[in-house]
Amino acid sequence: MKVIYILWLRQIKRYFRARSRVVSAIGQPLLLLIALGYGLGSVFKQAGHGNYIFFLVPGIMVQTILFSAVFFGINIIFDKQFGFLKETLVSPVSRVKILLGGAFGGATTSIFQGFFLLIMALVIGFRPYNWWMTLVSLSVLILLSVSLASFSSGIGAIVNDFQGFQAINQFIIFPLFFLSGALYPLTSAPAALRVIAAFNPISYAVDALRESLINQTHYGFTKDFIALGITTVILVAFGVYEFNKIESD
Amino acid sequence: MAENIIVARNLTKKYKDTTAVDNISFAVEAGSLFAFLGPNGAGKSTTIKMLTTLITPTSGELTLNNFDVVKDQIQVRRSFGIVFQDPSLDDQLSAYENMQLHAVLYGIPKREYKPRIEELLTLVELWERKDHMIKTYSGGMKRRLEIARGLLHHPKILFLDEPTLGLDTQTRNLLWDYVKKLNKNENMTIFFSTHYLEEAEDVAEQIAIIDHGKIVARGTSKELEKLTKTKSLEEAYLSLTGKELRDESNSGKDAIKLRMRARGGQ
């Protein structure tokens, strides 16, 4: 436990010491929320879907977590290339603990970012329909961020350079985000898009968050949490498996 | 005669189409200063990585402190400290935090590691700067800190993989004096690699030279000179390994390292 804790603490310290990173990590989603929220708000309202900012907040929270997971993966590659990972790999500690300590740290910082965005949203007028339900949204964020941090650790274990990681970013993270219903309601989306979204775990995270924050849902909590649970198990297993395989090259 | 603390028998590491280390056998006496030399790409780093459990051998036997590097990985890892060729510190943490992290990874309780960290950081003259971030440290300071960190868990063997690379002469001298002292006072086995042959000549009690995955010679500096009928270790080394240049394959990793160095990074 101490080992997981100290590796978790390391991520937290690193995160808050890199202030410029904190600012940009928080600024970008906020920009998206404001630009899209106000820009498309009137169109959305005319189409009879209600307040777009309210609709968008859960989607952008998920986006924050997705993108910070990418950043976390880049950190793993940095650790790998510039040595710190070696220090942990030659220590008498199991790989699982190394992975989990880092992933929990990465997850904590992304949850922090998600909630920071929520606070910013409150400032521009967003209100959850029931404050108690924000606790449910916290559990969604925990599942999502732990599974994504494990996933990107696994990718970081496989990939050795930043170009490779960028390709993954382009081909996995962007489609996951844009095809998830984070930006538009799936209910009125074309059938093809709905089918794709149904296979995208991010859709369920967005949906569960939306239900817990603004009481709107496409799949319902049960389906959302089953999908999220399965995703978490698979992605943590993937991270552990790939991390166990790392050999220094 | 002291007993052997490192024993390699028919050690081999193959990658898809190449044999990096080809059936080598050697032993290192407990408490000795052992230099492991060889041109780039000769199998030196691969051997050190097998010794330090970073990669598993394809075949052969390898024991450290009487533990098998594959079967008793955890005990092997407790037995050695290492200073890697490249810095392996977290540069966004302070020196103390780096030491503390290492102590926790090695399961040292707080009441033990607190005085030990102070002792070691004082020894390498970094105690006053213990709370400074590593990114403000010079290359020499980083090296000193890494040595202190490698010693934190009282290892039996200290691996130094080209520890003086990129350091100025003063720092190099200081570092070797310190390493020799450690070897003498704590009877710690030192296993090091270097491209500066005068360091090996000056420091090492035993030298092994590896080339094309095989150990081509071993002995004291004098023995190697005698063997090759030369007057210095450098000449002996060149006569054993030839004079042609070696190119390591430029992997993605090297490319990134070069880029980072160009940008003045680590």
| pLDDT digit string (tens) for chain A, length 249 residues | 899 999 999 999 998 888 787 788 788 889 999 999 999 988 888 888 888 999 999 999 999 999 888 788 888 888 887 778 889 999 999 989 999 999 999 999 999 999 999 999 999 888 999 889 889 999 999 999 999 999 999 988 888 888 887 887 778 888 999 999 899 999 888 999 999 999 999 999 999 999 999 988 899 999 999 999 999 999 999 999 998 888 765
Chain A interface residues (partner B, CB cutoff 8 A):
2-3, 6-7, 10, 13-14, 17-18, 81-84, 86-93, 160-164, 247-249
Q: Tell me if A87 and B102 make a contact (CB, 8 A cut-off).
A: yes
Number of structural domains, chain A? 1
pLDDT for B1 equals 56
Cα B255 to Cα A85, A138, A181, B110, B249, distances in angstroms: 18, 41, 39, 40, 10
pLDDT for B266 equals 39
| Stretch B218-237: mean pLDDT | 86
Q: Tell me what the pLDDT averaged over chain B comes to.
A: 87
Domain annotation for chain B: domains and CATH numbers: 4-262 (3.40.50.300)
Sort out which chain B residues have CB atoms less than 8 A from A17's CB and list them. Answer: 92, 133
> Which of A175, A199, A203 lies closest to A187 in space, CA to CA?
A203
- Please determine, for residue B243, whether its predicted confidence score (pLDDT) is greater than 50: yes
Q: Which residues contact B207 (CB under 8 A, 6 or more apart)?
A: B34, B35, B36, B37, B200, B218, B219, B220, B221, B224, B233
Determine how β-strand B59-64 pairs with β-strand B33-37.
Answer: unpaired
Candidate from A83, A91, A162 with C-beta closest to B87: A83
Sort out which chain A residues have CB atoms less than 8 A from B100's CB and list them. Answer: 6
Candidate from B92, B251, B265 with C-beta closest to A14: B92
Domain boundaries, position A8: 2-245
pTM of the model: 0.86
Sort out which chain B residues have CB atoms less than 8 A from A10's CB and list them. Answer: 90, 93, 97, 101
pLDDT for B119 equals 92
Per-residue HEC secondary structure of chain A comes to CHHHHHHHHHHHHHHHHCHHHHHHHHHHHHHHHHHHHHHHHHHHHHCCCCCHHHHHHHHHHHHHHHHHHHHHHHHHHHHHHCCHHHHHHCCCCCHHHHHHHHHHHHHHHHHHHHHHHHHHHHHCCCCCCCHHHHHHHHHHHHHHHHHHHHHHHHHHHHCCCHHHHHHHHHHHHHHHHHCCCCCCCHHHCCHHHHHHHHCCHHHHHHHHHHHHHHCCCCCCHHHHHHHHHHHHHHHHHHHHHHHHHCCCC
